[in-house]
Amino acid sequence: MSVVIEPITPEDLPEVLAIEVASFPHPWTGEMFESELARQDISRILVARLADAGTPPPLAGYICVWVIGDEVHVNNIAVDPRWRRRGIATALLDAALEHGRIRGGRRAFLEVRASNLAAQALYEQFGFHPAGVRKRYYDHPVEDAVIMRRDRL
């Protein structure tokens, strides 16, 4: 399976929102994504397309990152349930961290649900390590967030 990572376009929003709703109990809204699109000074949303899975290629996932000063913050990442466990999240995270490096990022941060051990394992493969806990950070259900940090990009 060939994956192409590229910046989001406004036409991608319906597919991104469908993945968001399928992935999270408290999904971001269209307005939240539009706000990210309007913040091109710090925000970047990248999408993953399956280049060999049809015409037009289906959108399989996305990642939203901020680069502020020398810090990269991974805000949101999701993969369509039909395409999970095929390396798409890895490709998205790799592209987002490279974007951060190019923009001057030297370290990266993210929050992840304490129960999401699969995501934590992915982040650890990228050199992230637990750096703290945000109590009751998530709603629906209420849950702590593990703050993860990577010190070098």
- Could you tell me if residue 147 is inside a domain? no
Token code pair at residue 12: 């991608």
Reported as a single tens digit per residue, the pLDDT across 22-80 is 998 889 999 999 999 999 999 999 999 998 766 778 899 999 999 999 999 999 999 99
Number of domains the chain is built from: 1
Tell me whether the omega of the peptide bond preceding residue 81 falls within 30 degrees of 0, making it cis.
Answer: no
Task: Specify if 15 maps to a domain.
Answer: yes
List pLDDT tens digits, range 74-126.
999 999 999 998 999 999 999 999 999 999 999 999 999 999 999 999 999 99
Does residue 79 form part of some domain?
Answer: yes
Query: Which CATH number do you get for residue 71?
Result: 3.40.630.30
Catalytically annotated residues: 111, 123
Inside any domain, residue 144: no
pLDDT at 23: 93
Is the residue at 120 inside a domain?
A: no
**131 in any annotated domain:** no
SS3 at position 41: coil
Find the helix packing angle between 30-38 and 13-23, rounded to 10°. Answer: 130
For the chain, the C-alpha Rg in angstroms (whole number) is: 15
Q: Strand ranges (DSSP E) for the chain? A: 3-7, 43-50, 59-68, 71-79, 107-113, 129-138, 143-150
Is 150 part of any domain?
no
Which pLDDT tens digit goes with each residue over 132-152?
Answer: 999 999 988 899 999 999 999
In a domain? residue 80? yes
> Which of 135, 127, 130 is CA-nearest to residue 147?
130
Q: Can you give the residue range of the structural domain that contains 105?
A: 3-110
Backbone angles phi, psi at 113, to 5 degrees: -55, 140
